[in-house]
Amino acid sequence: MRLPPLLPALLLSLALLLTRPGLAGSPTSLRYALKAGQRLTYAQVYQTDSRSDARSLFEQGGEAAADASLVNALRIHLRAQMQVEVLEQQEQGWLLSVRWERLTGTITANGQPRAQLLSALQQGLALPLVLHLDQDGRFGPLHLDPALDPTVIALTRTLLAPLQCILPPTPSTTWEAAEEDPIGRFETLYQLDRPGGKDGITRFRKWLARHLADVSNTRSGELKVERSIQVQGSRRLGFHAQRGHLVFLDGHEIQRTLIAGKTVAGSDVRLALRLTGSGRLKAEALRAGQAWAKQRQQAGRATTLYVEASAEEQETAVQRKALGEATADQVFEALRAAESQGEKDGGAHYLKLKALAYVHPEACARMGERLASASPETLSMRLLASALSTTGSLPAQEALAKAIRSRCEDWPAMAVLIPALGQCQHPSLASIALLEDLAYGSTVVSIASTAQLMLGSMAFNLARQGEPEKAEGIVTTALARLEAARDPILAARFLLSLGNAGSPRSLPALQSWAITPDPELRALAFYALRWIEAAPVEPLLLKALASDPEVRVRTKVIEAFKYRPPSAALVEALAQTALRDASPRVRLAALGSLWDLRGQFPEVLTTVEAARKDPDEDIRKQADSFLGK
């Protein structure tokens, strides 16, 4: 009988499909079957060639920092014998003891051998750790010697990780799991290669398919820097279905780490694990192991395979890397040399100074002493003030405060120092009190007004960082001063200060000032509404945009909207303003704001196209420029 013309092709396609990796055979049931007293010995090889380059995180003006200390290379090639002992079978899994013997290899950092680290690793890995393994193969709490060096603990986790092999809850050819790896949390994908053959070993592959974002909490108002890890490559595993344990692992992966979208590190990693022997512990040795494990569990807090660094720990690591091996004397001498040579930019020196202030808070006092005598126009004044301000620690604030007190009537210096203190992210009560003394007590008008503005910025930061009581104290004082102000210049200062603070408490006062006959003060009142998230604010601003008779006011309203979440009502109002407002200046401002919203509101392009026919030449040119005409 002749086969239908399409049937041979279909049979061939089916044969090819069934022989593809991961689809051959039928789903296999895999379960761990460990027994108390069981000992498994694995030969392990771990190799990584890594390079990190953090310069892009410190770039200024689009150019990466040139500091060579931000570029590092690490090479680790290790061989060891891993001893896994099953101490106890528990209701939900097993209690294991893991240690490493006969560790050999090399560790080099930036081409230099790290013999001390290798020696510490050899000693630390010889100490058993306690591990809980659940029924599916997922690692639970780890108990390590709390006296181990953090670097040794990190490498211990790295060598332990290949032992983790999570099995499917039901027979399957592919399965997924959320699990931890020392570099992060991942969605992992497992795929069956071949079920058990004559050797009884089921073979499958594992991919770190998708990096899961860290879950640490950031303080209100802080920017969380996103880290992501991309992994190419897979791990090939073998599991003995009858004996119920891992037999081998081979893996080759290329890992890439990105922070804030910038590649900062890459690694070429090779893993290998081979079961070389098995046996049983004697009863006495098992009892001793169980007693030791109980002591270790009680000795210290448990950890996990992946430990997410806190925001503070991450920042400390970054700043330590930026500082490198430089001492305070070396950093200060490099700054002095740069200044004597007429250097203008100083970006690399700023990074060192900031890292010095962060890693060695005791150095802040020296920085403050230099600020007390530095000429206002010098590189030292600018860089030292910026480094202390960005660090923002209590020692940094104290250093800035000391410099301010020593120069409290020196306006050129205070023009640098007051904003530096006011922009610290976590201002102390002492810093607030100092700026209030200057704001309401200085006889130098420029100093008083600058301090008033920076108090508003302080209140803004405090409110968004979970310290509303401090923020409200600043706002209460500013509101009282505004109410008592009889001089339009003083009123303008307090409106600006309250605008920087963005407190809802100031809304009634700002609403009353938004109807003052003075157009300058009215404009400032509307602009001061920009940060306030309250229902009346947007209608109030839209009404002013449509009907206030003063160009200055309408322009300030458009500026205020740039700080607020856009809405369809706003886009419509800006479109009407861009095409119909009597003032070319207002139309041009509205057109620019509309263009910034084009990604969310594509209808903006219609308005911009219509603006190409505006009677004002500058507006026509701007519309053409936006549209690439």
Query: Mean pLDDT for each consecutive 10-residue tract of the chain (629 residues)?
Result: 37 35 57 96 96 74 56 93 96 94 95 93 94 94 89 93 92 93 94 83 95 66 67 96 95 91 91 96 95 88 84 74 86 92 85 92 95 93 95 95 95 96 92 94 93 93 87 92 90 93 94 95 95 92 95 96 93 95 95 93 94 94 89
Query: 164-173 burial string, b = 16+ CB within 10 Å, else e?
Result: bbbbbeeebb
Q: Would you say residue 123 lies in a domain? A: yes
pTM higher than 0.75, yes or no?
A: no
Specify if 492 maps to a domain.
Answer: no
Is residue 421 included in any domain, yes or no?
no
Q: What range defines the domain where residue 79 resides?
A: 38-316
Q: At 282, phi and psi to the nearest 5?
A: -70, 155
| Alpha carbon 407 to its chain's center | 37
Give 263's contacts (C-beta < 8 A, 6+ positions apart): 53, 56, 256, 257
Report which DSSP code applies to 20.
S
Query: DSSP readout, 465-534?
Result: TT-HHHHHHHHHHHHHHHHH--SHHHHHHHHHHHHHHT-GGGHHHHHHHTT-S-HHHHHHHHHTTTT---
Structure tokens at 305: 């395979």
Least Cα distance to 233 among 250, 220, 219, 221 occurs for 250
Helix/strand/coil for 174: strand
CA nearest neighbour of 81 among 280, 290, 252, 277: 277
How many domains does the chain contain in total?
1
Predicted local confidence at residue 197, as pLDDT: 73
CB-CB contact of 367 with 352 (8 Å): no
**464 contacts 438 by C-beta, under 8 angstroms:** no
Concatenated DSSP letters of 241-304: TTTTEEEEEEEEEEEEEEETTEEEEEEEEEEEEEEEEEEE--HHHHHHHHHHHHHHHHHS--B-
Rounded (10°) angle between helices 379-391 and 347-359: 40
> The CATH number of the domain where 163 resides is what?
2.30.230.10
pLDDT at position 26: 59
d(CA 389, CA 526): 30
Task: Identify residue 100 by its one-letter amino acid code.
Answer: W
For 164, how many CA atoms within 13 A lie in the half-sphere containing its CB? Answer: 26
Q: Quick count: other Cβ atoms within 10 Å of Cβ 84?
A: 22
The residue behind tokens 């004002």 is: 616
Position 565 in a domain: no
Whether 80 maps to a domain, the answer reads yes
582 inside domain: no
Q: How far, in Å, are 18, 21, 138, 178, 314 from residue 168 at the CA level?
A: 21, 18, 11, 12, 35
> Using the 8-state DSSP alphabet, how is residue 63 labeled?
B
Do 390 and 354 meet the contact criterion of CB atoms below 8 Å apart? yes
**Strand locations in 110-147 (E):** 112-113, 129-134, 139-143
List of residues 6+ apart from 117 with CB closer than 8 A: 107, 151, 152
Task: Please check whether residue 87 lies inside any domain of the structure.
Answer: yes
What DSSP state is assigned to residue 164? -
Read out DSSP for 403-414?
Answer: HHHHTTT-HHHH
Structure tokens at 544: 């002013």
Tell me the CA distances in angstroms from 315 to 105, 306, 309, one per residue in order.
Answer: 31, 18, 9
Q: What is the DSSP code (8-state) at residue 111?
A: T
Three-state secondary-structure class, residue 13: helix
What is the pLDDT, as a whole number, of residue 221? 38
Q: For residue 332, is it within any domain?
A: no
From first CA to last CA, the distance across the chain in angstroms is 71
